[in-house]
Amino acid sequence: MQIPKIAMSAAVIGALSTGAAYAQDAAPDAAAAAADPYFYVFNTLLFFLGGILVMWMAAGFCMLEAGLVRSKNVSMQCLKNISLYSTGVLVYWLVGYNLMYSGVDGGWFGQIAPMTFPAPSADTGDYSLATDFFYQSMFCATAASIVSGTVAERIRLWPFLLFVVILCGAIYPVTGAWQWGGGWLSEIGFSDFAGSTLVHSVGGWAALTGALIIGARKGRYGADGRVVAMPGSSIPLATLGAFILWFGWFGFNGASQLALGTLEDAASVGRVVVNTNTAAAAGVIVSMVIMQILYKKVDVTMALNGALGGLVAITAEPLTPTFLSAAIIGGIGAALVVVTVPLLDKLKIDDVVGAIPVHLVAGIWGTLAVPFTNPDTSFSAQIIGILAVGAFTLVATGIVWFAIKATIGVRPSEEEEALGLDRAEVGVEAYPEFSAARV
């Protein structure tokens, strides 16, 4: 999802026809864009519509989490989601965008400066910089949304938002700069079309360190090792959230082609959307079949996460797979989710919504799977990218979580956690008629 630099010459179009997965890496040609404003218009339109779809994913995360937490914490999750989105966008404007894209030049990170938006001219290239920022900022907010669901029900609001500031202002932009900003990972041939690693695994690693350092919800794991069920408040809400995320993913992956000014680009966007949908559908069916075989019942929440696991897995390379390959990649992503959820409980890692299996595990698989369908990539480069991003994010987010825990604290008191964060921190209960009876 590197900033688009398409050149609308016959040479570039010919190159795209043999390596369409690299449309985002073509060279800029401001003169060509100025000569034909249609390139500028259509590319800008793609950013605009894609950004709207990805912004709608914020509502999907909110509804998914609201449905999977207990009634006494629903308002808190809604507040966290709208505030993390707002915080992430502002911080990304202040420092994140330029840190990720400005002057990286094969290095580790760019410049520390607020984003500015020049008026269109022959020097502004073949897309609107403002809509590009809008689109990119949605990805940054997505990484923070992943963390929110994992650490739900036992984290206070302001410490969480402090973590979001650092994640969106520094950690996510640095790892993004390594690839999409033209940094060192792009130099070695690492490929991540729309962010299985650079968005989803970053969020997954941050969620994992948070779950380990903050600890499990009170009462989640018994002294005898027993896992205590804590059912969510609303399966219909969670299902709605999963459908919204699925819908928004068409912008997440489709607009990551980053160009709509040629027939080749338009065809590529179509292939990306079809493969994205296929992987999600396969994820649902595979997760249902596995649940039926192993447990003789089909858990609806596992089917929802199966769809999301398929979506995350295909995100690293949604263009080059065939229909069948996309289904296989998505199905394996979902299978890994089904296997990882009980494994986390055995390790006493409390992940309320299953974000670690979906975004981290399926994200790693999807990134590893890229060379199976894209011959221009290599397993060695993919592994290096996964390990580098994972190690940096683990260390950086671990330091941040520990620092917040040691200074202002992270968790509410045991009494506040038992009461519910809706009453303890928000002051507005989502379901006041029922919350007193159901905890």
Neighbour-count burial of 378, counting CB atoms closer than 10 A to its CB (0-12 exposed, 13-18 middle, 19+ buried): middle
pLDDT digits (tens, 9 = 90+) for 135-189: 999 999 999 999 999 999 999 999 999 999 999 999 999 999 999 998 999 999 9
Q: Give the model's confidence band at 16: pLDDT under 50 very low, under 70 low, under 90 confident, else very high.
A: very low
Contact between residue 1 and residue 95 where contact means Cβ atoms under 8 Å apart: no
Note the pLDDT tens digit of each residue in 188-235.
Answer: 999 999 999 999 999 999 999 999 999 999 999 988 878 999 999 999
Percentages helix, strand, coil for the chain (3-state, rounded to 5) are 70, 0, 30
Rounded mean pLDDT, 263-292: 97
What is the reported pLDDT for 23?
35
Q: How many other C-beta atoms can be found within 10 angstroms of the C-beta atom of residue 225?
A: 9
pLDDT of 33 above 60: no
* 435 confidence band (pLDDT: 50, 70, 90): low
Average pLDDT estimate for 5-31: 36
Q: How far apart are CA 114 and CA 8, in angstroms?
A: 30
Asked if 345 contacts 353 with a C-beta cutoff of 8 angstroms, the reply is no
Closest alpha carbon to 231 in 101, 378, 74, 388: 74
Lowest mean pLDDT among 4-8, 40-44, 288-292, 425-429: 4-8
Q: Average model confidence (pLDDT) for the chain?
A: 89
Tens digits of residue pLDDT in 334-350: 999 999 999 999 999 99
Average pLDDT of span 90-98: 93
Give the pLDDT band (50/70/90) at residue 105.
confident
Among all chains, which residue has been given the structure tokens 């190159």? 15
pLDDT tens digits for range 353-388: 999 999 999 999 999 999 999 999 999 999 999 999
The pLDDT of residue 432 is above 90: no
Tokens for 195, please give them: 């962010």
Q: How far is CA 378 from CA 1, 178, 373, 405, in A?
A: 18, 17, 11, 40
Lowest mean pLDDT among 41-50, 69-78, 97-106: 97-106
Which token pair is 380? 């060695």
What pLDDT score does 104 carry?
82
Beta-bridge partner residues of 227: 221
Which pLDDT score, from 0 to 100, does residue 14 have? 33
Q: Name the pTM for this structure.
A: 0.89
CA dihedral 27, 33, 36, 42 (to 10 degrees): 90
Q: How many angstroms separate the CA atoms of 352 and 349, rounded?
A: 10
Q: DSSP secondary-structure letter at 374?
A: -
Distance CA(380)–CA(385), nearest Å, equals 9
Q: Is the dihedral of CA 54, 285, 355, 369 positive or negative?
A: negative
* Token pair belonging to 370: 């890229």
Query: Which of the 8 DSSP states describes residue 221?
Result: B
Longest dimension (CA), the chain: 72
Tokens of 160: 């969480």
Tokens of 224: 């005898």
- Hey, which residues does 221 pair with through a beta bridge? 227
* Cα first-last separation, the chain: 43
d(CA 240, CA 61): 10
